Structure 1
Amino acid sequence: MTTVDPGTPTWLRAHNDRTALRLLLEHGPLSRSRLGALSGLSKPTAGQMIARLERAGIIEPMGEVAATRGPNAVVYGVRRDVVTGVAVSILADTIEAVLTDPVDSDRPVVVLPVTDAARSPETDVNAAIDAACRAAGVDRSSVSVVAIGVQAAVDVAADELSFTDTLPGWPQSGARGRIEAATGMIVILDNDVNLAAVAERARGAMTDASGFTYLWLGDGLGVGLDIDGRIQRGAAGSAGEIGYLEVPRSAAALDPAAVDFTDLLGGPAVAALLGAPHLPLVEALRGADDGAWERIAERVGLLLAPVVSLFDPAAIVLGGPTGVAGGERLAALIQRRVDEGLYPRVDLRASRPHVAVRASATGDQSILLGARQLLVAHLRDRLETSIAI
């Protein structure tokens, strides 16, 4: 990429064009006069920025708005098809996918069943990309990046996965490289709970929070740690794998056979607690009554003790199938336990600041939404860097 000296006419033009692009992405389609007002530049300068961005194929006319005097004003917006990506969530029994563009347009989400056929990173992701493009009516050639959420710890630097119980056919090493080779695309691979935390920050209950801990309660358990808007993944991507932590001795009163927290609060344990051990977790949760949520909250209280001790969060968000099903009711039950004190030692309890327990506000496709947010940021950066400075 060619660079120029700051302050030169070429640099100023590129700087102004990037400013115009950011405003169009933030506010949506704008007229020349409105773009000038938002940027603080004159209408002629705004018109020149629009002309350059249109010639570059980044924006296009998107209609007209009535003017107070004279003819209607043309409004311009960022093109949705110039660069796109596909967000993918690889779940235990399904694959979810959706096409994403820099404007973050609403597109149809496709859900593909996971069959017993031979699986691999390439086949799973290629099928997801093709299905998302068909559903959106967009040619696959416009897709340049794919963001994938997996139920595994992801070591990005080493391209290694661990805890891959729900990913048959996926190797421990080299999954991202294989997808890149098969698709010719940039591949972003991340842990599912981390992506759910990204979604909560972008569109959920924590948009204005300085930081929070996201607690995933599902077939497996996990923690996403957000500090000042940045997800903490650990040295090898394994931060937050709390399901494998051994339970305290006090858990024996709830389940004497439980060894780790997954035994105590994972999907099979919760389904058995609800009297439906033969049902998948989501179906079993539909039959939960107030008494069942009390028992689940009691177990979550044990899990939160190490979370609060280690991370000292201002807020805890309950997500995953159990968290979403429990909603505000489960959050209130757990809040009461937190306020009563998670610790047996009075001195620690008295020194602990208030911790707010919140229900997730991103629904049952939070992983996909988090992958989509990563893609939107990536695609916007791609557009901006195409305007050379």
Structure 2
Amino acid sequence: MAVRGTPSWLGDQNAATALRLLLDHGPLSRNGVGERSGLSRPTATQMIARLEDKGLIEVVGEESIGRGPRAALYGVRNDLAYGVAINVDQEGVRSTVVDLAGTRHPVAHKAAAGMPAHRGAARDVARAVLDACEAADVDLTAIRHIRVGVPSSVDPRHDELSSVAALPGWSRKSIRRQLEGALGCEVEVDNDVNLAAIAERATGPYSPAGTFALLWVGYGIGLAVDVAGTVLRGASGGAGEIGNLPVPRGVPGADDGARDLEGFLGARALDRIGRETGWAEDGFARVLAGETLPERVCEVYAPRLAQSVIPVLGVVDPEVVVLGGPVGRAGGERLVELTTRHLREHTRWDPDVRLSAVAGDAVLDGARTALGTRLREALHARATGSLPAADHARVLAERLRDID
């Protein structure tokens, strides 16, 4: 790695600038790099040459610049490194390959009911990587980074999951070390709602300095708070675990036996409300199948949902409260309207309540977004010489076959 302030260091920094321009704007000529960077054409030529020498870019075409020879267009090599984004939850495992170009590769899906009886963290993740690579026709040896979303908080201090109730065969202890040791590449494990918030920030119309709280309602209830693009995780990774909060007294329905907000709002609660309103015995299963919540269910559910938002408003006071998760989507704009009305009539807060802007699997999309950033960071490190070309190029394929 070059010493800071030396010509070699300056050359690396210029090369990194050119790399960012190519990632952000797509293929550019030497003139294009010079114009966008504000540097001279000779310097831009040196920047391109340096990236070529490092094997990070290649000629991808030509552009006409009037009379005379056509100028070569340079683009970042998309085959340098790939990642795999994974979402593991009660329904099964979904995974997809992520690349530097942001290509939307196919999503591989294994339903929980069809998975082998003998499961575990390494086996689940290994199979997900294999399936994603097969679906995208990407060689296993190109995988450098893996990001896994799970329905649990993740304690970064002790590398520990708070719960594995929804993860058959998984152990709570040393989860990242366990996976990296088994797979032989970089693995990040993250809370599912935190990843959904990353997808929300990337998709929704939020101001760069704004704050929003994503209230996720599915099997249980979770929260993620995004402040100016940073998700608040807490010292132990437990920020947003509001499902453990006790049910407040005096709330409509508080006498139904639920001890905490998860029991008050989660899947069992929705089933109970469905029976009591005459809608369905299996309301949550209907939600997972894509059915919309009827008016009578929204009217019962909205006050409960509003109550769970009040602690967030009192502590964080976000500009926007976003309703997400299977139940949030099933409730739609009517659930948003009724929740907003209850907050306005019964509290001093008047937040902007919205439906999630993310369509489809928000957790997987968040893992994909986070991985895209990580791939860029790794490529930038290669450009500046702070990361060797063979980083993490270990024995992933062999280890995956051994695990499977």
Equivalent AA in structure 2 for residue 127 of structure 1: R
Distance 1:181 1:31, change over 3 A: same
Matched to 1:331, the amino acid is V
- Structure number with greater CO (CA < 8 Å, separation at least 6) is 2
Count of residues paired in the alignment: 378
Instruction: Write out per-residue CA displacement over residues 201-243 of structure 1, whole angstroms, 9 at most, x where no aligned residue.
Output: 1223436352111110111100111122221112211121111
| Alpha-carbon offset, residue 166 of structure 1 | 0.4
Cα distance in 2 for partners of 1:121, 1:369 equals 21
* Offset, 1:382: 0.9
Q: Which residue of 2 aligns with 1:346?
A: none
**C-alpha separation in 2, matches of 1:328 and 1:59:** 47
1:153 paired with 2:153, answer yes
SS at structure 1 position matched to 2:360:
helix
| Aligned pairs for 1:230-249 within 5 A | 230-249=230-249
Contact 2:225 2:231 in 1 (8 A): yes
8 Å Cα contact 2:145/2:186 also seen in 1: yes
8 Å Cα contact 1:267/1:281 also seen in 2: no
* In structure 2, distance between residues paired with 1:302 and 1:285: 25
Distance 1:120 1:66, change over 3 A: same
Q: Is the 8 A contact 2:94 2:110 kept in 1?
A: yes
RMSD value, Cα: 1.9
Letter aligned with residue 294 of structure 2: D
Aligned partners of 1:88 and 1:371 also within 8 Å = yes
Paired residue type of 2:188: I
User: How far has the Cα of 1:335 moved from its partner?
Assistant: 2.2
Q: Deviations over 1:13-63 (max 9, x none)?
A: 111101001111111221222111101122332223222212312112222
Pick the aligned partner of 2:78 from 80, 83, 86: 80
When the two structures are superposed, what TM-score results if normalisation uses the length of structure 2?
0.88
Hey, what does 2:352 align to over in structure 1? 356
1:111-130 aligned at under 5 Å gives the runs: 111-114=109-112, 115-130=115-130
Aligned letter for 2:106? Answer: P
CA–CA separation in structure 2 for the residues paired with 1:187 and 1:283: 29
- Relative distance call for 1:253 and 1:174 in structure 2 (3 A) is closer
Select which of 42, 48, 51 maps to 2:49: 51
Matched residue SS, 1:301: helix
2:100 alignment partner, one of 93, 99, 102: 102
- TM-score (ref. length: structure 1): 0.91
Counterpart residue number, 1:345: none
Map 1:13-52; keep pairs closer than 5 Å. 13-52=11-50
1: distance between equivalents of 2:269 and 2:63? 58
User: Aligned letter for 2:2?
Assistant: T
What SS is found at the alignment partner of 1:86? strand
Asked if 1:176 corresponds to 2:163, the answer is: no
Q: Does 1:373 align with 2:369?
A: yes
Give 1:170 shift: 0.6
Is 2:188 aligned against 1:188? yes
Question: Offset of 1:255 from its aligned partner?
Answer: 5.2
| Contact 1:268–1:281, Cα closer than 8 Å, also in 2 | no
| Identity across the alignment (%) | 43
- Structure 1 runs (4+) deviating above 4 angstroms are none
Superposed displacement of residue 163, structure 1: 2.4
Corresponding position of 2:383: 387
Q: Provide closer, same or farther for how the CA distance between residues 370 and 287 of structure 1 changes in structure 2, counting only shifts above 3 A.
A: closer
Distance 1:53 1:266, change over 3 A: same
**Structure 1 residue 320 corresponds to structure 2 residue 325:** yes
1:133 touches 1:139 (CA, 8 Å); kept in 2?
Answer: yes
d(CA) in 1 for partners of 2:249 and 2:344?
Answer: 22
Residue 310 of structure 2 aligns to which amino acid in structure 1? A
- Decide whether the 8 Å contact of 1:294 with 1:333 is kept in 2: yes
2:353 counterpart SS class: strand
The answer as to whether partners of 1:223 and 1:240 remain within 8 angstroms in 2 is yes
Comparing 50-59 with 60-69, greater Cα deviation is found at 60-69
